[in-house]
Chain A
């Protein structure tokens, strides 16, 4: 046992305990998981209703519509990332714990992705089919969303940490995160468009992978710094 002078659990154990706790909380409140999914489906429905049912047009705009809807759905659930813990005081306890705050933000972000990003990836083929998306493009859509939602959760954790405890934090959160999320949207949507046109997709997927890797390295630290500042 390398670390045994106190009762505090190791980093890995603390991480798993926190993720398990948040997953359990989400399980008890399934609305938090389902609402963004319904929102995703509804935003995607708005476009055909607004633009018209023309099949060619929908096939062209499908990748963009799906990506915008996914981005908005991810934003919708971000507000609650730290908010419930902030309101009931458990965030203070977590910040006081001997584990580094980076671990806390990383665990919170992981859970957020598991309950909001991953379901979006799994549901997206259903909606993609209604936009006449060809089969291989649906696969690419799922890959881009998989990589993209990781980045969105990580970027969003910075925004959520900055705005926790502020009045009107939700609108502000979107304002802070949307410009930062635009590269993800650009590469995500364009890559799916290229796939639908039978073009090469490697560049976009590499970019999304690189972006999520970079976000994974930097974002938890930025979110931890922001969380400490907004929680004093």
Chain B
């Protein structure tokens, strides 16, 4: 068991391992997203109130979910890196941030497009979830800006880890304060007492999309992580040997 963890934390081993497990993420991601898109866009029944406009939830909800999941993944791995001084965990945190920021952006854009026919405006300040998503994007910006401002990788890792943890403590507070600040949005429909309010034909594609996006996130994260590991280890022997095998031209 411990040997497995030690091997996992070793960069060359991880670099190879990541390459082997990426297909296990990308294939389910493609299958689930394809099913979710087709079933969601063509076969799910029309919402009696929102007509076809509701179908944007098949992108919006998974994107919003990933945006928060990515921040939590980032904060947890940053914490692991800070406490156990694990370099790979710091690399995970660093790789999470840009992906999470893009999913946050996607959730904001799709939320805004959905808002146009529903509320008649591109942006509704009275909507607490859109507003907390915007603040989440700012948190990602702060994290990325702090990383970018520090040249030394190890210092950037630990400084940004402190920030990620402080941000993670604040996210629920931000969420509830924004909720208190205003309430105009429709209530949550998936998780509620007495079962979901959606019919199965609507819900299944949505769950498939959420799962598919999660696998996609995993695949992108592993790819980024490989690059991140390669960059961090650029001065070590194994990277040099891999790029320039023995006997190759100088």
A binds B: yes
Footprint of B on A, CB under 8 Å?
158, 162-163, 166-169, 172, 175-176, 178-180, 182-183, 186-187, 190, 203, 207, 211, 218, 222, 225-226, 229-230, 232
Residues of B within 8 A of A (CB): 82, 135, 138-139, 141-142, 145-146, 149-150, 155, 158-159, 162-163, 165-167, 169-170, 173-174, 177-178, 180-181
Q: How many A-B residue pairs have CB under 8 A?
A: 75
Nearest 3 A/B pairs, CB to CB: A183-B177, A179-B138, A176-B142
Checking A175, A190, A203, A207 against B145 with a beta-carbon cut-off of 8 angstroms, the contacting residue is A175
- B174 contacts across to A, CB distance below 8 A: 179, 182-183
Q: How far is the CA of A163 from the CA of B145 in the complex (A)?
A: 11
Alpha-carbon gap, A222 to B79, bound state (A)? 12
- A225-B162, A230-B155 given as contacts; is B177 within 8 A of A163 (CB)? no
- With a cutoff of 8 Å between Cβ atoms, the chain A residues found around residue B162 in the complex are 158, 162, 222, 225-226, 229
State the Cβ distance, B40 to closest chain A Cβ, in Å. 32
Bound CA–CA A180/B159 (angstroms)? 16
Is the Cβ of B139 less than 8 Å from the Cβ of A179? yes
Q: Which of A183, A225, A232 sits near B173, CB closer than 8 Å?
A: A183
Residue among B139, B166, B181 with most chain A CB within 10 A: B166
A183 touches B155 (CB 8 A): no
Partner of A162 from the list B82, B138, B163, B170 (CB cut-off 8 Å) is B163
Of A167, A179, A222, which contacts B135 at CB under 8 A?
Answer: A179
- How long is the Cα–Cα vector from A172 to B166 in the complex, in angstroms? 16
Tell me the dominant secondary structure on chain B's binding face.
Answer: helix
Residues of the B chain whose Cβ atoms lie less than 8 Å from the Cβ of A187 = 177, 180
Interface contact A167-B166, CB-CB below 8 Å: no
Q: Are B180 and A218 in contact, CB atoms less than 8 angstroms apart?
A: no
The residue in chain B whose Cβ has the minimal distance to the Cβ of A161 is B162
Q: A186-B180, A229-B159 are in contact. Are A166 and B149 (CB under 8 A)?
A: yes
B145 neighbours in A (Cβ, 8 Å):
172, 175-176
B83 CB to nearest chain A CB (Å): 11
Given the contacts A162-B159, A172-B149, A176-B142, A203 and B180 also touching, CB distance less than 8 Å: yes
Q: B48: shortest Cβ distance to chain A, in Å?
A: 35
Across-interface contacts of A179 in B (CB, < 8 A): 135, 138-139, 142, 167, 170, 174
Q: Which residue of B lies closest to A231 (CB)?
A: B155
CB<8 Å pairs between A and B, sample of 23: A158-B163, A158-B166, A162-B159, A166-B150, A169-B149, A175-B138, A179-B138, A180-B170, A182-B178, A183-B170, A183-B178, A186-B177, A186-B178, A186-B181, A187-B177, A187-B180, A211-B173, A218-B166, A225-B82, A226-B163, A229-B159, A230-B159, A232-B155
B158 neighbours in A (Cβ, 8 Å): 229
* Contact status B178-A168, CB under 8 Å: no
Q: Residues of A contacting B170 with CB < 8 Å?
A: 179-180, 183
Q: Are B135 and A162 within 8 A (Cβ)?
A: no
- Is the beta-carbon distance between B138 and A190 smaller than 8 angstroms? no
Closest to B134 in A: A179
Give B158's nearest chain A residue, CB to CB: A229
| Bound CA span A82–B87, Å | 28
Q: Which residue of chain A has the shortest Cβ distance to B139 in the bound complex?
A: A179
Besides A175-B138, A222-B166, 17 new A-B residue pairs in contact (Cβ under 8 A), listed by A number: A162-B159, A166-B149, A172-B146, A175-B142, A176-B163, A179-B135, A179-B167, A179-B174, A182-B135, A186-B178, A186-B181, A187-B177, A203-B180, A207-B180, A218-B169, A225-B162, A229-B159
CA distance A208 to B66 in the complex (A): 30
Chain B residues with CB under 8 Å of A232's CB are 155
**A162-B146 contact given A179-B135, A190-B181, CB 8 Å threshold:** yes
Q: How far is the CB of B203 from chain A (nearest CB, A)?
A: 33
- How close is A185's CB to chain B, nearest CB, in angstroms? 9
A207 touches B155 (CB 8 A): no
Enumerate chain B residues within 8 angstroms of A190, measured Cβ to Cβ: 180-181
Q: Are A229 and B135 in contact (CB under 8 A)?
A: no
CB distance from B32 to the nearest CB of A (A): 32
